[in-house]
Chains A and B, each alone.
Chain A
Amino acid sequence: MIRRRPSRLKYLLDGIILENPILILMIGLCPALATSLTARDGLGMGVAASFVIITSNIIISLIRKIVPDNVRIPVFIIIISTFVTIVDYTLQAYQPALYQALGVFVPLIVVNCIVLGRAEAFAYRHGVFDSFLDGLGKGLGFTLILFVMGTAREFLAGGTFFSKSVGIEFLQKNGILFMIFPPGGFLLIGLLKALVNKYVKLE
């Protein structure tokens, strides 16, 4: 029996909708809620986490044949924390305002279940290019949700987009401040999850 190899494109696209880390797999929720106060924060966190997912996926896939099975988790953690430290210091140097806004969630990328989850479930068992595509897909899926949530919360709370007014007088005067407080994040992701339940049919 010939088993058909799943197409490479599938690795990339799965992460965006059918295996979206936040709304389908329900992992990596903390940064999704905490750093989606504005479109800029959401996008920044998404890009930072995507960088870590992609690079750690590539490195782990490269060394998968020489790492003994029983010490793989500590090895993964060291590789991941190296890239997290790189992101941490880079943001601190070049994007201090963003770094301030993301706060403790930048070093917390190291315990983000998406990163370790992909390392264990995918990169440790697949080739370099496939792992890169998988990391890119999961990163894009993660970034997409953070960006959507950040945009929605920023818009509803003050009628702005990337801190610029979009010209809706009503929202600027009567912004729904609730949305940038913690309960607003829970409410928004609950509604998004309900939408996904209704319209995305999983096999």
Chain B
Amino acid sequence: MNPAKIFLAAFLVNNIILLRYIGLCPFFGVSTRFSTSFGMGMAVVFVMMMATFVTFALYHLLLIPLNLLFLRTAVFILVIAALVQFVEMFLKKSFRALYSAMGIYLPLITTNCAILATTFLVIDYRYNLFQAMVFALGTSLGFTFVILIFSALREKLEYAPISPAFRGYAIAFIAAALVSLGFLGFIGLFGLSL
């Protein structure tokens, strides 16, 4: 599959939040303000690229040659947790501006299932390293894109006259259903399917 198609499939047609239902906890938890969504999105892009690269290398250079495939889940989650810690310490020491922009979101990312899911998916799809990185970029930008448009929508919902039972999460889910319905329209674009 060519890289442009992989990117578009990950970004729009198989959008990780709205069409695959992965990464919903940060999606609903963080997307209440536009600015926090942006910080979270950038942190996800950064960590997802690094995590995909590292786990991909470990899987092909360590787990396959040593025949340790059953350790995949344990190794991946530990690597991601350690990586996030290192990135946080490194940014804190060397890049203060970047740290203050996305530092507080980094610890939350360890349990963001979008990261772990992406590292599993590129292996399930048998991508090579380049395709895997393109997929990670598309997925994380898709995450950021959706979380941004959705946070703008939720800021409006705050002031909308909504019946008490639907306030908060309930209306957010229904708004997500409508946005998701819009994204369903991308199916078939460039011959890509769900």
Q: Is the CB of B176 within 8 A of A110?
A: no
Question: Least Cβ distance of A84 to chain B in Å?
Answer: 5
* Contact residues in A for B78 (Cβ distance below 8 Å): 74, 77-78, 81
Question: Least Cβ distance of B130 to chain A in Å?
Answer: 22
Q: Do A89 and B21 form a contact, CB below 8 Å, given A183-B178, A190-B174?
A: no
Q: Do A30 and B173 form a contact, CB below 8 Å, given A107-B72, A110-B73, A197-B166?
A: no
Q: Is B112 an interface residue (CB 8 A)?
A: yes
Q: Do A197 and B77 form a contact, CB below 8 Å, given A89-B70, A116-B111, A183-B184?
A: no
Q: Do A187 and B24 form a contact, CB below 8 Å, given A77-B77, A81-B77, A110-B116?
A: no
Question: Least Cβ distance of B108 to chain A in Å?
Answer: 11
Q: Is B165 an interface residue (CB 8 A)?
A: yes
Q: Is B25 an interface residue (CB 8 A)?
A: yes
Q: Is B96 an interface residue (CB 8 A)?
A: no
Count class of interface residues, chain B: 35 or more
Prevailing SS type, chain A contact patch: helix
Query: Once the chains are docked, how many angstroms separate the CA of A81 from the CA of B74?
Result: 5
Question: Could you give, for residues 139-174 of chain A, a 1 whenever the CB lies within 8 Å of some chain B CB and a 0 otherwise?
Answer: 000000000000000000000000000000000000
Question: Out of A29, A77, A85, A183, which one reaches B181, CB within 8 Å?
Answer: A183
Q: Do A185 and B21 form a contact, CB below 8 Å, given A104-B120, A104-B124, A111-B112?
A: yes
* Contact residues in A for B171 (Cβ distance below 8 Å): 190
Count class of interface residues, chain A: 35 or more
Q: Is the CB of B22 within 8 A of A186?
A: no
15 A–B pairs (Cβ distance < 8 Å), ordered by A? A26-B169, A33-B21, A73-B81, A85-B70, A85-B74, A89-B70, A104-B121, A112-B113, A113-B111, A182-B184, A187-B174, A190-B170, A190-B171, A190-B172, A197-B166
Q: CB within 8 Å of A: which residues of B?
A: 18-25, 28, 70-74, 77-78, 81, 111-113, 116-117, 120-121, 124, 164-174, 176-178, 180-181, 183-184
Q: CB within 8 Å of B: which residues of A?
A: 26-27, 29-30, 33-34, 73-74, 77-78, 81-82, 84-85, 88-89, 104, 107-108, 110-113, 116, 181-187, 189-191, 193-195, 197-198
